[in-house]
Structure 1
Amino acid sequence: MVMKFRSVLDIACGIRYIYSQLDICSSLSRAILLDSEMSTKIHDIEKAYDNINEVLPLLNKPTFASAINLIKIKLSELKDIRSSVIRLKEGAILDDIELFEIKSLAIINNDISSLLSQFNTESFKIYDTTHVLNLLDPDGNRITSFYIYDSYSPELTKLRRDYKQSNYQDQDIPFEISKYEEKIREQLSSSLREHYLLIDNTMLSLALADILIAKCLQIKSLDLVVPKVSLNEKTEYRGLFNPEIESILKNEKREYQKTDISFSSQKPLLITGSNMGGKTVTLKTLALAQLLFQYGFGIPSEEAHITPVNEIYLSCGDDQDYRASLSSFAADMKRVDKMIKSLKRGRFILSLTDEPARTTNPVEGSALAESLITVLSKYRSMNVLTTHYNISNPYCTRLRVKGFENGKMNYSLVEDTGTEAPHEALLIAESLDIDSEWIELAQKELNKRN
């Protein structure tokens, strides 16, 4: 299953926020990014981050930073002329607008090539379009306009001079001029057709340069990190955070508590904790980090070692589907079933499942959660689940949210060897100023049961 970047933007993990914060200069570059496919091969992922690692230190040099500002101005003029390139390839005679667009592309490319030539970097692949530019700019003026220049044809030059001398009254001459001009367009199109692949590659390389610069600048502005590719099927984060939520909290003058977490393909990881303990945010942020990793972005963490996977499954929240007549429970079960089917086809996946079977009764819900862990443990995969059920399954490693301390929630994850989920609902309700009579009666009911 090929996952294009545009298809993951609606996953509720914060990736659309990251995309919105990406300072891409041209609409072509955005289109190229949106159509990019998720990388699953280690070589491709490492290559993407090698390019970022080469460019990032250069941004600290004033001369390079200044050059980047000029390059971004040039990239803002980049147009999507893929349809014109297709027409050229298929044998069409290009009109003056299309020839102008190709000339503009060549000028932008040459200007950016000149700006980058002073820096020793292989991250930007820049093609030599001098020949294309010479075809469309025979007088060497290097201005972004196009005209069937007199220098293309002595006969055309003479006709234009004669027409001018007639004070533009001889109506036979314009027809002759138009024939010569169309012949020159045909000749130019024929000559350019030999270079259609160069033109197409130039357009793509400039878009990729735009995307690379934007990703590097975003790493600096959002305090992201370049990850390491994990080769032992163990994913580890130190100081993991969700930039969108961090931004919201910052506006409210509150601080985001970062998370340390690790898990592997050896056993599913089970996170327990009460509601409002940040378990769902952790799963969504793990999904965000994995997606960013496999699309070559910076990672919201202080340090990250990440395992590439074939597919990513995030199951969070109330997905009741009225159009499909599915209840919350049914939607939850169908989504998890889809993930299991992928596992059984031999796909190496990351599954992030928030409180499986949480919307049914606790007896059957806990049985479904226990058995899901058993199923997942049988297959090579990366799995993180959360629950507030009491789970005794031995086929998983366990972390729990540290919990309520001194009147506030501590979202740190600590190792857990117990099988009971924390009992903190009443404490949290009390901290929210929920009706005291209700809370007191609930506490008495708990005391009776115990």
Structure 2
Amino acid sequence: MSIKQAIKQISGFNYIVNSLNIRSSAGRKQLFSLPFLTNGDDIETALDETETAVGIVNAPENEKRLSMLFSKLMQLHDISGTIRILSDKNILDDVELFEIKYFALLAESIREHAGQLKISFIDIPSLAKVIDILDPEKKRIPHFYVYDQYSPDLASLRAQLNRMPDQGYSEQEIEQARLQAQQLEDEIRKKITQQLYPHARALLKALHEIARLDVVLAKARQAKELGLCKPAIGDKKTFYTGLFHPEIRNLLRQQHKDFQPVDISIPMQPTVITGANMAGKSVLLKSVALAQTMMQFGFYVAAQSAAIIPVEQIVISISDGEDELKGLSSFAAEMLRLNTTIDNTRQHISQLVLIDELARTTNPTEGKAIVCGILDFFIQHNVQSLITTHYGIDMPCRKLRVKGFTENKNNEKITIDNINSFIDYSLEETTEKEVPHEAVKIAEIIGVNAAILERAKKYLKNDVQ
């Protein structure tokens, strides 16, 4: 999975990416090239780098130096195209030589600031020799010109050209002198390019390392701003305390509402989750998918603490209307995703499977049978999975229930605007086969027509009898 695919597939990941304060175009390019890490050691290395950066960002004594470093990062441009031209041994023009000089001067400055901040996770090579090649005047100014210092002959010819109009030379003679100067300049550009060629790899590495620094520092600042934590690498199960969804939490805060974090463990077997409508089951699955994705791209995660088992694939099935736009019914799309999980299992591909209300769009008898069938398969193969459902499931698997409505001690009026305040989104283990029956109650709260609800209650009462 690439960053772009994760933005498309994982709810809230686009919010995470957009909240990164990356200063440079090179840093942004580096971000979108990040791999989806599946090896625990690689993930720990990425997280350790972010942890080091968090310590640097949080230290008050570093504030001034960081401000200067961030200012330098904002000046960084992606010159990989120019470095590629150099690597191919093509002669560079003045603009390209300026780009390399400007970058080399900037890289040396960033290297110095990084050293002062004791940033140990990057290795920016020295480009002092590159600067010496491009700055014969040693003024260290971000400007390039084929300087007179490159060639005494060129300096003499330029001086002669400046005098020629006042000394009565013809236009033809002046033009001939100009052509000679241009030829000398071309020869010098060729020579400079040849001198720079051995430094192409160092230039590319410096660009890569500085872009990586930009990304890691952005991750660190994000961790501080959003209250993220460094996850551990899980072994036999994944668990979260205080798991939350940053984007949804932000939306609720804009409405002066609170997001209730939840605690959950996810063993290497299927877990069925039940609960009333509006009890947060879908948000829970989205939060788990987001945290898993963030960790495997080397981000801190949205929780108070976490230990997460890395997987090769995250398979998530939550209806969002996109399947219909592709010409698929929600049921057909859901069944195709189930095929993916089954194929992955048979190919021994490690995966985290998250399915919201499996088979809810077909008739209840067959829907329940499909849920039981997939659970039977997942139990047999120890598939790490969370499946929410409104069906009463009698299967030998782990079951969790969202606690749901709390006691209204003050007899406050519950409305669509304050209903979240009366729901406990925390999870509890359950062995019950039946699922909560609170749909009519919620329909009353949100203002569904009373006459319709009375009819519904009558039919519900007849079914119970």
Q: TM-score range by the shorter chain?
A: over 0.9
Alignment of 1:410 onto 2:424: yes
Equivalent of 1:46, from 44, 68, 71?
44
C-alpha distance in structure 1 between counterparts of 2:57 and 2:7, whole Å: 28
- Show the counterpart of 1:305: 307
Please say if residues 37 and 295 of structure 1, whose CA atoms lie closer than 8 Å, have aligned partners that are also in contact.
Answer: yes
Q: What's the C-alpha RMSD, in Å, of the aligned pairs? A: 1.5
- Show the counterpart of 1:56: 54
Range moving further from structure 2, 331-340 or 159-168: 159-168
Aligned residue type for 2:143: S
How big is the shift at 1:91? 1.5
- Show the counterpart of 1:15: 13
Equivalent of 1:208, from 206, 212, 227?
212
- Show the counterpart of 1:314: 316
SS in 2 for 1:9: helix
Please say if residues 236 and 304 of structure 1, whose CA atoms lie closer than 8 Å, have aligned partners that are also in contact.
Answer: yes
How big is the shift at 1:319? 4.6
Aligned residue type for 1:410: D
- Show the counterpart of 1:400: 401
- Show the counterpart of 1:444: 458
C-alpha distance in structure 2 between counterparts of 1:134 and 1:380, whole Å: 62
C-alpha distance in structure 2 between counterparts of 1:162 and 1:432, whole Å: 89
Aligned residue type for 2:310: P
Please say if residues 232 and 307 of structure 2, whose CA atoms lie closer than 8 Å, have aligned partners that are also in contact.
Answer: yes
Distance change >3 Å, CA 423–CA 119, structure 1 → 2: same
- Show the counterpart of 2:417: none
- Show the counterpart of 1:133: 131
How big is the shift at 1:30? 0.9
Please say if residues 319 and 331 of structure 1, whose CA atoms lie closer than 8 Å, have aligned partners that are also in contact.
Answer: no
Please say if residues 273 and 403 of structure 1, whose CA atoms lie closer than 8 Å, have aligned partners that are also in contact.
Answer: yes
How big is the shift at 1:116? 2.1
SS in 1 for 2:116: coil
Aligned residue type for 2:273: I
Equivalent of 1:246, from 238, 242, 249?
249
- Show the counterpart of 1:376: 378
Please say if residues 127 and 198 of structure 1, whose CA atoms lie closer than 8 Å, have aligned partners that are also in contact.
Answer: yes
C-alpha distance in structure 1 between counterparts of 2:206 and 2:394, whole Å: 59
Alignment of 1:37 onto 2:35: yes
Equivalent of 2:347, from 336, 345, 348?
345
C-alpha distance in structure 2 between counterparts of 1:311 and 1:165, whole Å: 73
- Show the counterpart of 2:229: 225
Distance change >3 Å, CA 415–CA 322, structure 1 → 2: closer
SS in 2 for 1:400: strand
1:91-170 equivalent positions in 2, closer than 5 A:
91-167=89-165, 170=174
SS in 1 for 2:279: coil
C-alpha distance in structure 1 between counterparts of 2:434 and 2:160, whole Å: 97
Q: Deviation string for 1:62-116 (max 9, x for gaps)?
A: 3322212111111111111112112111110011111111111111111111112
How big is the shift at 1:55? 1.8
Please say if residues 372 and 393 of structure 2, whose CA atoms lie closer than 8 Å, have aligned partners that are also in contact.
Answer: yes
C-alpha distance in structure 2 between counterparts of 1:374 and 1:107, whole Å: 63
- Show the counterpart of 1:432: 446
C-alpha distance in structure 2 between counterparts of 1:206 and 1:118, whole Å: 15
Alignment of 1:287 onto 2:285: no
How big is the shift at 1:321? 3.7
- Show the counterpart of 2:411: none
Please say if residues 319 and 332 of structure 1, whose CA atoms lie closer than 8 Å, have aligned partners that are also in contact.
Answer: no
How big is the shift at 1:372? 0.7
SS in 2 for 1:287: helix
C-alpha distance in structure 2 between counterparts of 1:137 and 1:380, whole Å: 64
Q: Deviation string for 1:228-260 (max 9, x for gaps)?
A: 111x13111101111111111101011111111
C-alpha distance in structure 2 between counterparts of 1:441 and 1:202, whole Å: 72
Equivalent of 1:255, from 251, 258, 261?
258
SS in 2 for 1:10: helix
Q: Tell me how many residue pairs correspond in the alignment.
A: 445
SS in 2 for 1:449: helix
How big is the shift at 1:60? 2.5
Using structure 1 for the length normalisation, give the TM-score: 0.96
C-alpha distance in structure 1 between counterparts of 2:27 and 2:53, whole Å: 18
How big is the shift at 1:437? 2.2
Range moving further from structure 2, 244-253 or 137-146: 137-146
C-alpha distance in structure 2 between counterparts of 1:141 and 1:320, whole Å: 58
Distance change >3 Å, CA 323–CA 409, structure 1 → 2: closer
Distance change >3 Å, CA 70–CA 426, structure 1 → 2: same
C-alpha distance in structure 1 between counterparts of 2:237 and 2:45, whole Å: 20
C-alpha distance in structure 2 between counterparts of 1:388 and 1:262, whole Å: 21
Larger Rg: 2
Aligned residue type for 2:247: E
Distance change >3 Å, CA 319–CA 434, structure 1 → 2: closer
SS in 2 for 1:360: coil
Equivalent of 2:87, from 86, 89, 98?
89
> Quick check: which one's helix share is greater?
2
Q: Give the share of equivalent positions with the same residue, in percent.
A: 36
Alignment of 1:184 onto 2:197: no
Extract unaligned runs of 5+ from structure 1.
Answer: none
C-alpha distance in structure 2 between counterparts of 1:321 and 1:391, whole Å: 27
Q: Deviation string for 1:413-439 (max 9, x for gaps)?
A: 111111111111111112212222222
